[in-house]
Chains A and B, each alone.
Chain A
Amino acid sequence: SQQGEEDPQALSIQEGENATMNCSYKTSINNLQWYRQNSGRGLVHLILIRSNEREKHSGRLRVTLDTSKKSSSLLITASRAADTASYFCATVLSGNTPLVFGKGTRLSVIA
């Protein structure tokens, strides 16, 4: 079964607006990662947040992690048409185990 579940499944916004995607997971994690997938391409790593971190920034991206609620959010500020993609969260359970991916949020940014 999926460890991470993204919400919403699909999101459509206007260029310039902020986009927020959420990820919930079921068990304790080592770290949580967010990936982007453009149509017809492979996944690209965006950001990694460790279980002892609460917030992390990278350019227009802001990721938060709440381990008590077993949830994370990805905020993209001032969205652009080029941000149109699917966004996946992936979790690493304790130890050296492989990533487990959610099913993703499809983001459409309309110019």
Chain B
Amino acid sequence: DAGVIQSPRHEVTEMGQEVTLRCKPISGHDYLFWYRQTMMRGLELLIYFNNNVPIDDSGMPEDRFSAKMPNASFSTLKIQPSEPRDSAVYFCASSPNTGSTQPQHFGDGTRLSIL
């Protein structure tokens, strides 16, 4: 299997611009997770989906962040407008379940820099 695929790997943009991060989960995995990783806060869960439906978005920092999963093979995380404090590495992960009995599989992340 190809694993979880994220794009782009790196994104540099100016403050105020819209940013869209993309994720293709592993086929057959019912759960998809979006995380943000920073030195200060570590790995934070932003939102997760089960069968394309958002289950918990309590980790989304504010209304500038939104996530969609239009089908089982694609998800996006959008930031509009972007701010310098959004600079971080964003990971997508997928799993057959939440992690209660099966591990999560991570993509290699998108390194986002907002100038």
Contacts and interface: CB of A to CB of B under 8 A. Distances in A.
Interface in B30-48: 33, 42-43, 45, 48
Contacts of A102: 42
A97 B98 contact: yes
B46 to A, nearest CB: 11
Contacts of A48: 101, 103
Contacts, number: 57
B74 to A, nearest CB: 18
B109 interface: yes
Interface residues of A, number: 25
Contact of A99 (B42, B99, B107): B99
Contact of A42 (B4, B42, B98, B100): B4
B11 interface: no
A100 B45 CA distance: 8
Given A42-B91, A48-B103, A99 B98 contact: yes
Contact of A92 (B93, B98, B107): B98
A45 B103 contact: yes
Given A41-B108, A43-B91, A2 B42 contact: yes
Nearest to A50: B101
A44 B106 contact: yes
Interface of A: 2, 30-31, 33, 35, 40-45, 48, 88, 90, 92, 95-104
